[in-house]
Structure 1
Amino acid sequence: MTIVLLVALLLLVPILFLLKRTKPSKRVPPGSLGIPIIGQRLGLLRAMRAITAEKWIEDRTNKYGPISKLSLFGKPTVLIHGQAANKFIFTNGGDSIVNQQTQSVKMILGDRNLLELSGKDHSRVGGALVSFLKPESLKQYVGKIDEEVRSDILMHWEGKQQVKVLPLMKTLTFNIICSLLLKATAKIQNMLKEIVHQKKVEQEKNGINPRQDLISCLLNMVEDDKQVLTEKEIIHNAVLVMVAGHDTSSVLITFIIRLLANEPAIFAAVFQEIAKGKLLGEPLTWEDLSKMKYTWRVAMETLRMFPPIFGGFRKAATDIKYGGYIIPKGWQIFWVTSMTHMDNNIFPEPSKFDPSRFKNQASTPPYCFVPFGGGTRICPGYVFARVETLVTIHYLVTKFIWKLLSDNSFSRDPMPTPTQGLLVELCSRNLS
């Protein structure tokens, strides 16, 4: 018995030491850091998979208020949410808050991608990406996206009685983004590095079209006879665009397909808008997509209810005063998207799917609808996501009718994932 007590005491001493070390002397938000290392990570991950994360956060808010401390992924963290929190996150220029992703994300994307940069570096790299992803540039790529979608539907959809939507959407959106990133599809950084080198040689010898692909565009950005982005930044942000450009869009399109199966009236309205706008068989143009206003409102409402990104992380670069408390330097800041999306005071009857909410987007208070971020932190791929989504939905709606063969359940891991990948039964439309 004495040995057991001695072992327990030896185990308790380092735990108490760690708790003492992490106990801040400043007026930090209320809450608990929990068990060292573990913290509240397991509880949050369980809630996300069970689609009860909003309830989990709501319970914390009821207990501690709108700002609270906890420990996530081994680091002391402050949880914030709401309109003021969104504005605080998205308008901060980087002097007090810097970007920070979890270590696993950093290992995948690299440390010089846009999600890791702040201040002048963020503006420089973000500006370079925007030059490729702005509407004036994307107008040139509608035909290429149209071609990729048609080819994918012919190969994976036509003639099939059943399909699993999410895996097919991931394949499609990955092929689309790769076709715009570079002509030779590269899946890992070493391959991207080789392609960058090849394009540099081509550029020096013959010159290259800066609008040929993303890497060509980034290589051609020069200020004061100096390349704007380093080779490392080009590679890491090419990987970022590959991941972001297919993962989030595939989730959005999948949930639109799920929604249309559950809402026949909305399905009919989308089909009516699309069918009257274009002769069958003709490739889509930028002008065609600009007419699909109702379809995009359906997409926006889908993003409101099922945002692909639940939240994100930042880091306090200095002690920050927020909400009457101090967020200590070095602590993580965890902000959550969907709390404003499902706020009854902002969006009445938030559980009801209603695309008319976005008929007049000016009526939505700023920093309340944030699936693409906001302010200076708005996602540079916003317009690309719109083009990709509208082209895909156009062809699926004009070619097929579908019904769900799986239930409506889904989990977050960390993005929304429908049961069985959203299994649907297909029926071809007979249109002349």
Structure 2
Amino acid sequence: MDALLSCLLLLVILAASLFLVSRAKKHYTGSGSSKLPPGTTGWPLVGESMKFVMLGPEKYISGRMKDCSPDVFRTSLLGETMAVFCGPAGNKFLFSNDNKLVTSWLPLSIKKALVFPDFVDNSVKDIAALKHNFMHEILKPEALRHYIPIMDSMARQHIEADWSPRKEIKVLPLSKKYTFDLACRLFLNIEDLEDIKRLSDPFSRVISGLFSVPIDFPGTAYSGAIKGGKMVRDELLSIIRRRAKQLSENKDMVATDLLSRMLLAMDQENDKLMNEMEISNNVIGLLVASYDTTSISLTMVLNFLAQLPHIYQEVMEEQMEIAKAKGPGELLNWEDIEKMKYSWNVVREALRLTPPAQGSFREAKTDFTYAGFTIPKGWKTFWTVHTTHKNPQYFPEPEKFDPSRFEGSGPAPYTFVPFGGGPRMCPGKEYARLEILVFLHNVVTKFKMEKTIPNEKIVFHSSPTPVHGVPVRLHLHEK
């Protein structure tokens, strides 16, 4: 019903567009004195968003690179004129000029779903800005070392409760449950299942509709995202205020989680409510990443292991060596993670083939020139993994799963970019690495997995999503 309603609304928009404009601008532009990048504006109002969704990002991007330019092309996505930068040179240019020629940008539709209305018109930098660099501090490797035993303990509990009692499971929903539970524990110090559920249920609505057609009409996925976002923000404010009260009443309380540390450092001279909103905005960003990109990454790694026995065997042997060196009940530590070299190469190859994030947006701060074309001030830019990750020039036999690509010096610079690059590189990269490897260790040392749908279709929403959630049969290792 949601899909039908969304399609009907799109038809209304298209009809109105055709009434206002006699024909769509389908011809390619780029010649003349303006020297704008070649490309197409697509349909009025809708632009090329529908083609992007219908073809899928990988096919859409490769087609435009072929028809327009392998360096940079012009399009219209999310209601914005946009320049898509291609290849390692394009990636390097945008990463190197962050906060110089370009600045962070998010579509208005996404901000409306995620942040408080007071912040919708603010820049991404202002929304995510905290006076103290808590995000990078709590997510840097030195800090994360202390969380490895917690990750390991929670992974064991999760597998014991949700995997071991069953002969068959679906990897995707269980991965989402684990990654979200872990994020609540580490970032908010929340362990109660009911408290987590009050956040996770509306969060699923946000993620489901975040990248849908941005029409806030009852029954649409985007309307669900808007409602879910408000529920999440209300619940977070309640959590923040309860925690602030606990901290004020117990001055000796040790702040180990992100939320408590931010609250202790709040500037009392500023408006308290605005500080609470700023904290909530930052926590939401972390939870979105934990719920979607990290869980998809973990799912796709396990998907490849289940369908490639020879890869699984090598990973299992590496992980079993680590397990044999541990005492009874002894939890993983940093030194154990550093031994998982082949396993990490497997993870990286999974991220190359099925990257959880498609890329990132920027906004031009001034007019500038790239590859002979002018990018006007105010234009949006987009870099995407799909210009390099499966390019045979950088990755021979690109569809082949080959972890050896990451041995030695690995891929050429700016060709493997699942976490972005430059000053805006994903601060959660190391967190994701540890979370995936810890969970991977606990799965392969206990089970062998067998896919029940060998050629399961992968569709693209905000991330690559297995249609059936990767159902697998579990076979316990013989002792």
Same fold (TM > 0.5): yes
Alignment-derived partner of residue 379 in structure 1: 426
Write the deviation string for residues 7-44 of structure 1: whole angstroms up to 9, x where unpaired: xxx9878326997xxx9983311222122111111111
Aligned equivalents of 2:123, 2:131: Cα separation in 1 = 11
Displacement of 1:131: 0.7
Q: Give the 5 Å matches for 1:136-215.
A: 136-184=142-190, 185=196, 187=199, 188-207=232-251, 211-215=255-259
Q: How many residues align?
A: 412
Q: Give the 5 Å matches for 1:280-295.
A: 281-295=329-343
Runs of 5+ consecutive residues of structure 1 not aligned to the other structure = 1-9
Aligned equivalents of 1:28, 1:283: Cα separation in 2 = 57
Letter in 2 for 1:47: L
Q: Give the 5 Å matches for 1:125-144.
A: 127-144=133-150
Contact 1:126 1:380 in 2 (8 A): no
Displacement of 1:209: 5.4
User: CA 1:30/1:11 → structure 2, altered by over 3 Å: closer, same or farther?
Assistant: closer
Displacement of 1:96: 2.7
User: CA 1:304/1:11 → structure 2, altered by over 3 Å: closer, same or farther?
Assistant: closer
Displacement of 1:123: 7.3
The reply on whether 1:94 has 2:99 as its aligned counterpart is yes
Aligned equivalents of 1:62, 1:294: Cα separation in 2 = 35
Contact 2:128 2:278 in 1 (8 A): no
Q: Which of 111, 124, 132 is the aligned partner of 1:117?
A: 124
The reply on whether 1:366 has 2:366 as its aligned counterpart is no
User: CA 1:12/1:110 → structure 2, altered by over 3 Å: closer, same or farther?
Assistant: closer
The reply on whether 1:423 has 2:471 as its aligned counterpart is yes
RMSD, aligned α-carbons: 2.9
Alignment-derived partner of residue 11 in structure 2: none
Q: Which of 230, 254, 277 is the aligned partner of 1:232?
A: 277
Alignment-derived partner of residue 214 in structure 2: none
Alignment-derived partner of residue 79 in structure 1: 84
| % identical aligned pairs | 35
Aligned equivalents of 2:268, 2:239: Cα separation in 1 = 25
Aligned equivalents of 1:68, 1:354: Cα separation in 2 = 31
Displacement of 1:207: 3.1
Alignment-derived partner of residue 206 in structure 2: none
SS of equivalent to 1:212:
coil
Letter in 1 for 2:68: Y
Alignment-derived partner of residue 259 in structure 1: 304
Letter in 2 for 1:339: T
Displacement of 1:226: 8.4
Letter in 2 for 1:266: I
Aligned equivalents of 1:211, 1:328: Cα separation in 2 = 46
Write the deviation string for residues 238-282 of structure 1: whole angstroms up to 9, x where unpaired: 011011023111111111111112221111111111111124643
The reply on whether 1:403 has 2:450 as its aligned counterpart is yes
Alignment-derived partner of residue 225 in structure 2: none
Alignment-derived partner of residue 104 in structure 1: 109
Aligned equivalents of 1:243, 1:125: Cα separation in 2 = 22
Letter in 1 for 2:187: L
Q: Which of 8, 32, 39 is the aligned partner of 2:40?
A: 32
The reply on whether 1:44 has 2:89 as its aligned counterpart is no
Contact 2:24 2:43 in 1 (8 A): no
Q: Which of 354, 364, 382 is the aligned partner of 1:306?
A: 354
Which has the larger displacement, 203-212 or 335-344? 203-212
Contact 1:202 1:208 in 2 (8 A): no
User: CA 1:259/1:200 → structure 2, altered by over 3 Å: closer, same or farther?
Assistant: same
Letter in 2 for 1:83: P
Letter in 2 for 1:241: L
Alignment-derived partner of residue 7 in structure 1: none
Runs of 5+ consecutive residues of structure 2 not aligned to the other structure = 1-15, 191-195, 200-231
The reply on whether 1:297 has 2:302 as its aligned counterpart is no
Q: TM-score, normalised by structure 2?
A: 0.79
Contact 1:91 1:375 in 2 (8 A): yes
Aligned equivalents of 1:370, 1:82: Cα separation in 2 = 11
